[in-house]
Structure 1
Amino acid sequence: MSQYENNPGATYTPAAGHHLLTPLYDLGVALTTREALWRNRLVELLSPQDDDVILDIGAGTGSLATLLARQNPAMRYYGIDPDEAAIDIAQAKAVRAGTSPVFKVAHFSKDAVSGWPKPTKATLCLVLHQVPLDEKLRLLQEIHSTLDADGMLFIADYGEQRSWLMRTLFSSTIQRLDGVSDTQPNADGVLVPLMVQAGFAEIEEPAQFNTVTGSISILKGIKAGQHTE
């Protein structure tokens, strides 16, 4: 059975944009983002090892927790999300699957996860396009500070929209739902420069998926050259 820590945060955008729609979030993401493709690729890239501690920021309804536990039950998973309704769904999934993730209802910060082990890997899925530019940078900086030495960050989100078709689809779907001010920097390619500014090195884009709502990129960065005393 999953462990469930509750520490509600302040104002945020629920997983599906509105609390009443949270139960439909999984279906919506599956239909509009080719989720099976990018999540399975993300799990391949994470390649969870027995000694891994994986921190999932914006854990949502626990889809990644389930896939990671299936890939390697020995790894340790910690998920944080401010949406209590989404975490309730994640907890129920874990019970059905017989897995033991740890969830916490809170906005992510280094202090919010200070009681957890240092993560060797962190994930950030479909979060950054929904928050202002200064919050994008804050999240990346705090993840960098939270990671263990040589830890890795994997981002799966709407990134640079490189073609006319992807820009058009993105503007007619995601930007209609989430607005332009927070989403446009992602479409313009801000994520890689922000990762550099936050201190990540060896940044790569190992995968990119065109969807009916725009292009989703997987980005990887390493916290290099800093070792725990």
Structure 2
Amino acid sequence: MPDSRSYTPPAGHHFLTPFYDLGVRLSTRERVWRNALIELISPKNEDILLDIGAGTGSLAVLVAQRNAATRYFGIDPDRHAVEIARIKARRAGIEAEFAHKLFAADAVADWPAPSLATLCLVLHQVPLDEKLRLLREIHAVLQPNGRLYIADYSEQRSWLMRKLFRATIQKLDGKADTQPNADGVLIPLMAEAGFLDVCELTQLNTVTGSISILSGVKGAQGA
């Protein structure tokens, strides 16, 4: 089971969770990257989407707007974020199931195996060994040929993006967990976790650094 000490609240501190949506919207060009993510995922009627680190449920609403037939399941270790997500789903009148748990394969054993998984703005907040654990466990629960999409701070390629990243995200979340992302560790980690065809689909510059959308697929034999 994962260690709760590896968990960082969505906005870095529990007392900031109610302001998380506003902060993400203002600092990450959220509408742009979330819409790009939905376009890339292109959820189908038969898809089952598992959203790890679902936060306040923003992706659930967008998935339902794109394709209401796609089944959505979200898991997050922050109780306040999950409460907000459930309220947001009820207000939007959408079908979405949320669990307040640390993610592990056995934590979602009662849910159907997903054909899609998403991991948004999570990996930059956790230690290197936890990054790899999460990726391995996502790989384990995906259906054969299932696909993982990551939207997160990844390699900061320009001087400006590195400077902005240091001045914002690393000030909030610390350097130890965030620096591997900035150095480009995510693609190698995805491959180490067993994903195939790992690639960066797009990268978006923001005032807090560049956010990449990455993808990888689980093999047909699950290996």
Which of the five TM-score ranges fits, normalised by the shorter chain?
over 0.9
Residue 172 of structure 1 and its aligned partner are, at CA, apart by 0.8
User: Match for 2:188: what amino acid?
Assistant: P
**CA distance in structure 1 between the aligned counterparts of 2:14 and 2:201, rounded to whole angstroms:** 33
1:156 aligns with 2:162: no
For 2:28, the equivalent position in structure 1 comes to 33
Residues matched between the structures, number:
220
TM-score of the superposed pair, with normalisation by structure 2: 0.96
1:55 aligns with 2:50: yes
For 1:168, the equivalent position in structure 2 comes to 163
For 1:188, the equivalent position in structure 2 comes to 183
**CA distance in structure 1 between the aligned counterparts of 2:222 and 2:156, rounded to whole angstroms:** 36
**CA distance in structure 1 between the aligned counterparts of 2:162 and 2:23, rounded to whole angstroms:** 20
**CA distance in structure 2 between the aligned counterparts of 1:189 and 1:96, rounded to whole angstroms:** 38
Over the aligned positions, Cα root-mean-square deviation in angstroms equals 1.2
For 2:77, the equivalent position in structure 1 comes to 82
> In terms of mean alpha carbon deviation, does 49-58 or 15-24 score higher?
15-24
Q: Which runs of 5+ in 2 are unaligned?
A: none
Aligned positions of 1:108-187 closer than 5 A: 108-187=103-182
User: Match for 1:222: what amino acid?
Assistant: V
Residue deviations 1:24-80, cap 9 Å, x none? 100000000000000000011110100000000000000000000111000100000
For 2:86, the equivalent position in structure 1 comes to 91
1:222 aligns with 2:217: yes
**CA distance in structure 1 between the aligned counterparts of 2:8 and 2:17, rounded to whole angstroms:** 11
**CA distance in structure 2 between the aligned counterparts of 1:105 and 1:226, rounded to whole angstroms:** 31
Q: Which runs of 5+ in 1 are unaligned?
A: 1-8
TM-score of the superposed pair, with normalisation by structure 1: 0.94
Superposed structure 1 runs of 4+ greater than 6 Å apart:
none
Residue 227 of structure 1 and its aligned partner are, at CA, apart by 5.0
**CA distance in structure 2 between the aligned counterparts of 1:21 and 1:209, rounded to whole angstroms:** 25
For 2:4, the equivalent position in structure 1 comes to 10
**CA distance in structure 1 between the aligned counterparts of 2:170 and 2:13, rounded to whole angstroms:** 16
**CA distance in structure 2 between the aligned counterparts of 1:176 and 1:22, rounded to whole angstroms:** 17
User: Match for 2:4: what amino acid?
Assistant: A
Equivalent position SS for 1:181: helix
Residue 225 of structure 1 and its aligned partner are, at CA, apart by 3.0
For 1:205, the equivalent position in structure 2 comes to 200
Q: Percent identity?
A: 65
Residue 224 of structure 1 and its aligned partner are, at CA, apart by 1.4
**CA distance in structure 2 between the aligned counterparts of 1:18 and 1:165, rounded to whole angstroms:** 26
